Amino acid sequence: MPPRLNITTLTRSIAFRPKPQLPSPARPWLRPAPSQCRLNSDSAKTAAADRSKREDAKPIEHVSEEAASMAQTMGEQGPDLSQGTPIEDVVKGDKSAQENLPKVMQDKLNSQAPKTTPNMAPKGSRSYSTTTTTPADGNGGPDMGIVDMRPLPEVPATPGLKFEMPSLPLPRDGHIKHRYDPVVEQVTNLLMRHGKKSVAERQMALILQHLRTSPIPKINPARPLLPGAPPPSHLPLNPIVYLTLAIDSVAPLMRIRSQRGAAGGGVALQIPVPLGQRQRRRAAIQWILGAAAKRVNMGSGKGSFAQRIAQELVNVVQGTSGIWDRRNAMHKLGVAARANIVLPRKR
């Protein structure tokens, strides 16, 4: 069966859209030129013709008026304008005008001129010599004027040395390994961990800086410091003295040693043993480090532990640290155990 064809669809009109035309660009030579208008062309007198208001048209001030205005600007006292200007000030610096003055005024100007002293060098000459002469001391060396030709230093008497031997005994900080204070060096060594001494030195520097910038401590009369200590107002000025005073004040004088069989049998007796200066300081430093490790960390970073140690040192000086109770307990136990000390008998 053949397909059905719809004849009406073939008769529909097809939409035709023409291409829009763009406007042609305007040619530059066809544009009208802007009109020029001269505003002052009809005026008989232009603004440029009035030169009386210009700065260079004003009359020059008088010498006295110029000096008065300059003195007012500089804040000084200028000449009195109610009186006349002296003729000497008018002709000052003008040689031709000075020659035409009367003889009396010329003599007055010459008397006011500064006189040169006999020892003064003439104008345009040097105050030193640039010629090569022989010195007056008779050394025979050349004298080059301003150049100081001094002889070279003598060779040291000891052969093989460039400089002289140092004078003995050497100062306390003359050795490279002992150039720091003993207390600072001991605290630094006890702060060191895993052989990192540079880290300990940085912490020691932060401790001293905190002591230097801390306020003046308040001393507790119940817990006095060492006798002969400087006043509290001087401690922040010298942080090393501050550190030494805090350590030596709480350093114990003895330690308790347990000795088995001292009284017979297996009973151990507690015997007090005196300590040296370095041992006393070591015990005090260990107490301070232990107390600082238990303090609450108030900051963060690498300097937090150093800040806690410095704060513990300040508390020791002020008498508010618990290390004082530990020291007093150690001394009390040593006094009670002094009866256990057995002295050697004399034969």
Residue 151: per-residue pLDDT: 64
Round to whole Å and give the CA distance between 203 and 192: 9
CATH number for 191: 1.10.455.10
CA distance 67 to 277: 80
Asked if the structure places residue 323 within a domain, the reply is yes
Which residue do the tokens 């002296």 mark?
A: 86
Ramachandran region, residue 343 (left: φ > 0; alpha: ψ -120 to 50; beta: rest): beta
The reply to whether 283 falls in a domain is yes
Task: Say if 27 falls within a structural domain.
Answer: no
> Phi/psi at 274 (nearest 5 deg)?
-70, 155
Outline where DSSP puts E strands in the chain.
254-260, 268-274
Using CA atoms, how far apart are residues 214 and 204, in angstroms rounded to an integer?
15
Q: Which domain holds residue 282?
A: 182-254+276-328
Task: Give residue 296's identity as a one-letter amino acid code.
Answer: V
Helix 323-336, helix 239-250: angle, nearest 10: 40
Q: Are 235 and 317 in contact (CB under 8 A)?
A: yes
Q: How many domains does the chain have?
A: 1
In a domain, 347, yes or no: no
Q: Is residue 192 part of a domain?
A: yes
Question: Is residue 98 in a domain?
Answer: no
pLDDT of residue 144: 47
Query: What's the whole-model pTM score?
Result: 0.52
Residue 144 lies in a domain: no
In this structure, the number of other CB atoms found within 10 A of the CB of residue 151 comes to: 7
Residue 175 lies in a domain: no
271 φ/ψ angles, rounded to the nearest 5 degrees: -120, 125
* C-alpha separations of 16 from 13, 19, 108, 293 in Å: 9, 10, 116, 95
pLDDT 10s per residue in the chain (347 long)?
Answer: 555 655 555 555 555 566 666 665 555 555 555 555 555 555 555 555 566 667 666 777 777 788 788 888 888 877 777 766 677 777 777 888 888 888 888 888 888 766 655 555 555 555 555 555 555 555 555 444 444 556 666 666 777 888 888 888 888 777 787 888 999 999 999 999 999 999 999 999 999 999 999 999 999 999 999 999 999 999 999 999 999 999 999 999 999 998 887 667 777 888 999 999 999 999 999 999 999 999 888 777 777 899 999 999 999 999 999 999 999 999 999 999 888 887 767 76
